[in-house]
Chains A and B, each alone.
Chain A
């Protein structure tokens, strides 16, 4: 299974993109440098903000209030929705004054909202927002499950010692979940580097391909420009980043002791 779904596509991709001149072509196009910056921003900001908020919110969902418990199924709804219609909807929410976001801004605050996809920074920001919206519930649930493994005695002891929420987070939760947090962040980074759907559907690369990430640039080359090898090369150029991340991930997995 691993061979069929992981090794074969990667090996085939490397074989397709084996010609060094492809990478010369790739780098010669200024779009590539911008795509690299976008990918770094999309993955770096998206993953870290998402993971940190998920860790904090998992603590919120631990509170024993019926309305907080009832909120959890609603909160995971974005994750349960199929990605394509969800992101198509996100795109339409933002298509200027006809979109829901600008309609709400004008109805509630009398503000005329901007054209979100004509500004590179705004469009990139919305890609990240949509990405966080879709995937934060999943990681919140992961951390939520992990928090249930922290023995209640440790919390009680911290409370007896007079530790408030922040200090408890810094001295109990984070040391215990720190390694899990690192593992999850690395895993999420690896997945997000290959994420195609969000950018392809939310900003569609707009304005004028300035918000593309490596996966969507590869898609454009392969299908719109009919240069499949160049498309594969664009995606494969992420491998020098993937390998060190995978090594750090393996290292983190071998850390077994919890120091408190």
Chain B
């Protein structure tokens, strides 16, 4: 009975924490949605309401159909975001995992890679060295150790680093702002920053763009999540 009460208490406090996290994470997003659901370019954010009187998906439709001059290259920029994001993700994971593999601490490559190397190097410390030694005794080449042992064991950290690299590139605007001049070359993140600089800023389009733009990384993260399964090293080493 005592065990059951304890179980129920743990579940209840977990549920309460989950609810608190849900509110914490979504309240500002709800505010963005409120603005995005406003049909007029307007001032709904200044009206102190909890739900728009005339909610409309018009601004989402405008974003998807490129119906405003600030959004005329939306899909092209979306493609740029994908290209830059996925390339950054791939290269960071590759460089980071190879550097971590060789235990080189070189926190000096570019921006995502220092984080990748730090995390992967720290993470690699947690993996039992016996596995590495056992494979070498069995005559595995370094490339085989990397592919068969290191990569599977590092999968959770690589998924975290990959998500980090993707989002860093996805939402980065400072360097692209300096380096890219044509709107055709921009990612959506910097196109959103252009909204902020324009005189007549249609805030509803800005918020609709931001919400739509946040969805692909969430989907990619969801796909990567299965690499974050727990207990990977379970049973690998017998003391």
Chain A interface (Cβ < 8 Å from any Cβ of B): 1-2, 5, 57, 60, 62-65, 67-69, 71-86, 88-90, 92-93, 95, 97-100, 102-104, 107, 130, 133, 137-138, 141-142, 144-153, 176, 179-180, 183-184, 187, 249-250, 253-254, 256, 258
Least CB distance, B230 to chain A, in whole angstroms: 5
Residues of B within 8 A of A176 (CB): 126
Q: Which residue of B lies closest to A138 (CB)?
A: B164
A92 and B233 contact, CB distance less than 8 A:
no
Interface residues of B (CB under 8 A from A): 14-15, 17-18, 21-22, 24-32, 34-35, 45-50, 105, 107-111, 114-115, 118-119, 121-123, 125-128, 153, 156-157, 159-160, 163-164, 167, 170-171, 173, 175, 188-189, 192-193, 196, 203, 206-207, 209-211, 213-214, 217-218, 221-222, 225, 228-234, 236-237
Can you list 26 contacts pairing A with B, beta carbon distance less than 8 Å? A1-B110, A2-B109, A62-B230, A63-B14, A67-B18, A74-B22, A78-B29, A81-B211, A82-B171, A84-B173, A84-B193, A89-B31, A93-B31, A99-B45, A100-B31, A100-B50, A103-B50, A133-B25, A145-B160, A149-B126, A149-B127, A149-B156, A149-B157, A149-B232, A150-B126, A152-B231
Q: Are B156 and A145 in contact (CB under 8 A)?
A: yes
**14 other A-B residue contacts (CB within 8 Å) besides A152-B230, A179-B122:** A5-B110, A62-B230, A64-B230, A77-B25, A78-B29, A80-B167, A82-B210, A130-B28, A133-B25, A144-B160, A148-B230, A148-B231, A151-B128, A254-B105
A71 touching B21, Cβ below 8 Å: yes
Within 8 Å CB of A149, what residues of B? Answer: 123, 126-127, 153, 156-157, 232-233
B31 touches A148 (CB 8 A): no
Q: Which of B119, B123, B218 contacts A80 (CB 8 A)?
A: B218
A90 touches B18 (CB 8 A): no
B114's closest neighbor in chain A, by CB? A187
Query: Are A89 and B207 in touch, CB under 8 angstroms?
Result: yes
**B46 cross-chain contacts in A, Cβ below 8 A:** 92, 95, 98
Q: Is there contact, CB below 8 Å, between A81 and B214?
A: yes
Q: Which residues on A sit within 8 Å (CB–CB) of B119?
A: 142, 145-146, 180, 184
